[in-house]
Amino acid sequence: MVHTIPMDTVELGTTGYPKSLAEIPGAPKKLWMRGVWPAAGTKRLAVVGSRALSSYGREACHKLISGLAGYPISIISGLALGTDAEAHRAALKAGLHTIAVPGSGLGDSAIYPRTNVGLAKDILKADGLLLSEHPEDYKPAAYDFPSRNRIMVGLADAILVIEAGEKSGTLITARLAHEYNRDLLCVPHRIGDPHGFGANLFIRLGAGLVAESSHILEALGIDPRAEGARADIKLEGNERIIYELLDEPVPKDELIRASRLTPSDALSALVMLELKGVLKEEFGAWRRT
């Protein structure tokens, strides 16, 4: 259960308080924490967007985050419905550290929204972190959600906007990115798509356009070609069989035959390898990333 993870606190100006957060205007005087901070040197990417996430936004969120697997990156979001929850889930699937910053306290009976208590528990099980400026039993008010966004932006090295409508609260987060001198990255949308109003506007105003995971790595200053940039990803059983066959791009049918696995087992391994960000399909063939 979530309650088995102890609660810690840290105060502004003391050892352990995040340096980047301490530098923002109105930094929280005290933080409540449950879980584990990312390792030293880990880059932090805040992922934000609409609560009413479109299917395009969901697919983009999972695809981009899965491509970060193995790199020293922590995914920050707000544990809310829609984009936040999908970002945390995508991070967990990719084996990435993730930080959830809800508008509530972190007590078992207070975590909000209640539908994501199970997700909060999964984050803690995976050695992620829950973080709040409120006491553990604090129940959130409407104004607490824009307020918590400053914590997410303050912690982050860059902010990724998946999608944002014309009246989305994500627009506030994007403005904070500018005020705090953080890189703002946006997923482009089709012309006229109401879900893409914010992202398309910010791209026009100079935000970084993100169409693939390598664009995020570039913004975070990670060279995927550099030695040691990517940690070893553990591959087991069928995953390793498939991976070792791909010294060069191979069409799917040919790959299945060469693996001598059943089609079902081979396809399951391909899906897991793609989620881990080590393979992708391009021009009808699978290849290593």
Pair (176, 258) in one structural domain = no
**In-domain check, residue 59:** yes
Report angle CA 249, 252, 253 to the nearest 5 degrees.
Answer: 125
Pair (167, 257) in one structural domain = no
Pair (51, 134) in one structural domain = yes
- Strand order from edge to edge, sheet including 250-251: 250-251, 285-288, 279-282
Pair (66, 100) in one structural domain = yes
Q: List, for residues 203-241, the tens digit of each pLDDT value.
A: 998 999 999 999 999 999 998 777 667 766 777 789 889
Pair (141, 247) in one structural domain = no
Pair (156, 244) in one structural domain = no
Identify the pLDDT of residue 2. 47
Q: What is the DSSP letter of 88?
A: H
**In-domain check, residue 180:** yes
Identify the pLDDT of residue 144. 80
| Residue in this structure with the two tokens 């508008």, named with its chain if needed | 103
Chain centre to alpha carbon of residue 163: 14
Q: What is the DSSP letter of 136?
A: T
Identify the pLDDT of residue 28. 94
Pair (115, 164) in one structural domain = yes
**In-domain check, residue 233:** no
**In-domain check, residue 230:** no
Last residue of a domain, one of 192, 219, 246: 219
Question: Tens digit of pLDDT per residue, the chain (289 long)?
Answer: 344 567 899 999 998 999 999 999 999 999 999 999 999 899 999 999 988 899 999 999 999 999 998 899 999 999 999 999 999 999 999 999 999 999 999 998 999 999 999 999 999 999 999 999 999 999 988 878 888 999 999 999 999 999 988 777 788 888 899 899 999 999 999 888 888 888 898 999 899 999 999 999 999 999 877 766 776 677 778 988 998 888 888 999 999 999 999 999 999 888 888 877 788 888 888 888 7
- What total of structural domains would you count in the chain? 2
**In-domain check, residue 129:** yes
Pair (243, 208) in one structural domain = no
Q: List, for residues 66-82, the tens digit of each pLDDT value.
A: 999 889 999 999 999 99
Last residue of a domain, one of 160, 188, 219: 219
Left, alpha or beta for 271 (phi > 0: left; psi -120 to 50: alpha)?
alpha
Identify the pLDDT of residue 227. 61
Pair (29, 138) in one structural domain = yes
Query: Among 153, 201, 203, which residue's Cα sits nearest to residue 178?
Result: 153
**In-domain check, residue 52:** yes
Asked if 10 contacts 36 with a C-beta cutoff of 8 angstroms, the reply is no
Range of the domain at 250: 238-288
Pair (185, 274) in one structural domain = no
Pair (140, 283) in one structural domain = no
**In-domain check, residue 69:** yes
Q: Where does residue 136 rank: exposed (0-12), middle (13-18), buried (19+ CB within 10 A)?
A: middle
Identify the pLDDT of residue 162. 95
**In-domain check, residue 225:** no
Pair (171, 244) in one structural domain = no
Residue 144 neighbours by CB distance under 10 Å: 18
* Threshold 0.85, pTM exceeds: no
Last residue of a domain, one of 160, 187, 219: 219
Identify the pLDDT of residue 276. 76
Check which CATH number belongs to the domain holding 279 and give it.
1.10.10.10
Check which CATH number belongs to the domain holding 162 and give it.
3.40.50.450
Identify the pLDDT of residue 232. 62
